[in-house]
A and B are shown apart, each in its own frame.
Chain A
Amino acid sequence: MLEIRFHGRGGQGTVLAAKMLADAVLRSGWGECMAIPEFGVERRGAPVLAYARISKETIRVRARVYAPDAVVVLDPVLAASPAVLAGLKPGGIVIVNSEKTPSAGRRWRWLAIPAKAIARSHGLGPRTAPMVNTAMCGALVAALEVACLPSLEAAVRDAVPAKPEENVAAAREAYSLARRRLHAAA
């Protein structure tokens, strides 16, 4: 079983990122999935968490994720928070929405995805606060290798409230970029 934790802010589509991952996994036939929101009192801009579990077998655990295999950070400001690395398994991966390639640590793998620029180039959300969730989901699917591209595209198209093709394009671009970067690192 793979466990994923998402760090974002209210209004960034953090929960939807977890849902798109789950849906892509299900559509691709890779296995079972669960996307779990951590609901606080929903306020735009407040830090929010979401979780996902994916597994080849039936998922029975219905609790928060405490020891993730992967962490996805939608808001680069949150990347500095110690909460981001809390419980992350050794060898786990941190996928950050960032222009800067993070300094490589030994304990975890890092992957920077310029999701803000990708989202902006596809006209997603306001220019000052682009919607990065579909790009980040694309990178995550590539990093975990748990769904094929057509399944990811279908999951994105089904989940987003507007601009389906632009969102699909953003997810595809981040997916390809993540694959290239991870292969180069390997």
Chain B
Amino acid sequence: MRKALMGNNAAAAAVKLARVEVVSAYPITPQTQVVEALADMKASGEFPGRFVRVESEHSAMACLVGAAQAGARTFTATSSQGLAYMHEMLHWASGARLPIVMADVNRALGAPWILWTDQTDSLSQRDTGWLQFYCSTNQEILDSLLIAYRAAEALLLPVMVNYDGFTLSHTYEPVDVPAQEAVDRFLPPLNYQYALDLANPRAFSALPKPKEYMRLRRRMAADMDRATVTVAAIEDEFARAFGRRYAAVEPYRTDDAETLLVVSGAPASTALEAVDRLRAEGLRAGSLRIRQFRPFPAAVLRAYAGRERRFVVVDRNFSMGHHGIFCEELKSALYGVKGRPKVFGTVAGLGGGDITVELLEEIWRDADAGRLDEREPLWMEDAR
């Protein structure tokens, strides 16, 4: 049934549908409603799992590391500084190969004090060994969390599902909430093969020798590498079960496009409108939405690289002293491709600045006309 839900409602609905057994979380704007909704559902009996209250995000993740090691399906949600505070525990979760799923409601980092969206919080967790997805609609938040459990439990790697603070988290739109039976068919109970077992006591994450550590990391890297294929298969299965299709990279009107907007998150939805308006003028516009950031879908993106093409990346994030992060990742993916396309980087909407249709059109026109410099990011904003 389709209901008008906020992104945060959609996330909480997914947690209940996934029959999560342990939730531990600490409230932070704009994620708070996820925790409130789960606490309400716990109080009313609608959510039968455990809800563990903690004094910080660091403790929330520590709690889930324990719960997941005991074999429970786990969830947390956070934002911004909360995610930063959790940082070292993210490594413990991935290194221990625990299938934890988290929602990060993208919010810019302080100082100065800031509430609104950008992606620098989650992209700063790039090297923690978590898969990362970026959603463009509230429906996708619900669906991605269900897909995330399947992926995490198949790969024994944790998954972070990201969505724009306020732009998605607090915006109401129709969301199809699937029936519990359909979700149960898609997502069977977790049977974690390395769960704590009193009858068979073992030690976990104890000190290895360098050679063992290196080999464990090599194995983890290989599992991360195969994640793109694994996730694609799960997304296919999801499409068959629920009629909604997702992919690591989603192309729009790319066939004869000369310049492609490369966007992630909610602005990637707005970009579809910008492409249609440019096309209506007879311009060869297209877009690529990068939904999966880790593992980075380099091979998929290379398939769109042509000599006559230009890519213009719109990054709502920034790595100080360098460039927008999606732009750098894309450039790295295309390195060595013969006759690689030009890749321009723009930075827009940091701290919640509006990424409008008009701004995206302007960015596209600048790139299409070759007015941008590949070596320097261009900072863009809607003057309104």
Contacts and interface: CB of A to CB of B under 8 A. Distances in A.
Interface of A: 18-19, 22-23, 26, 32-37, 39, 41, 59-64, 66
A87 B30 CA distance: 29
A35 B171 contact: yes
Contact of A34 (B2, B171, B384): B171
B4 A63 contact: no
Nearest to A63: B356
A32 B270 contact: no
A60 B356 contact: no
Contacts of A62: 136, 164, 167-168, 171, 266-267, 269-270
A64 B3 CA distance: 22
A26 B4 contact: yes
Contacts of A41: 115
A64 B4 contact: no
Contact of B172 (A22, A60, A61, A66): A22
A35 B167 CA distance: 10
A61 B173 contact: no
B270 A63 contact: yes
Contacts of B355: 63
B328 interface: no
A33 B174 CA distance: 7
Interface in B370-384: 384
B357 interface: yes
B188 to A, nearest CB: 32
Interface of B: 2-4, 30, 115-116, 136, 164, 166-168, 170-174, 266-267, 269-270, 272-273, 354-357, 384
Contacts of A34: 171-173
Nearest to A23: B4
A38 to B, nearest CB: 9
A60 B269 contact: yes
Contacts of B272: 60
A19 B115 contact: no
A59 B116 CA distance: 22
A39 B166 contact: yes
Nearest to B355: A63
Given A41-B115, A62-B269, A63-B270, A32 B170 contact: no
Contact of B356 (A23, A33, A66): A66
A22 B4 contact: yes
20 contacts: A22-B4, A23-B4, A23-B172, A26-B2, A26-B4, A33-B172, A34-B172, A34-B173, A36-B167, A37-B166, A39-B115, A39-B166, A60-B269, A62-B136, A62-B164, A62-B168, A62-B270, A63-B354, A63-B355, A66-B384
Contacts of A32: 173-174
Nearest to B265: A62
B61 to A, nearest CB: 27
A39 B4 contact: no
A119 B227 CA distance: 56
A164 to B, nearest CB: 17
A19 B4 contact: yes
B173 A22 contact: yes
A-B pairs with lowest CB-CB distance, top 10? A35-B172, A23-B4, A62-B266, A63-B356, A34-B173, A60-B272, A36-B171, A60-B273, A60-B269, A19-B172
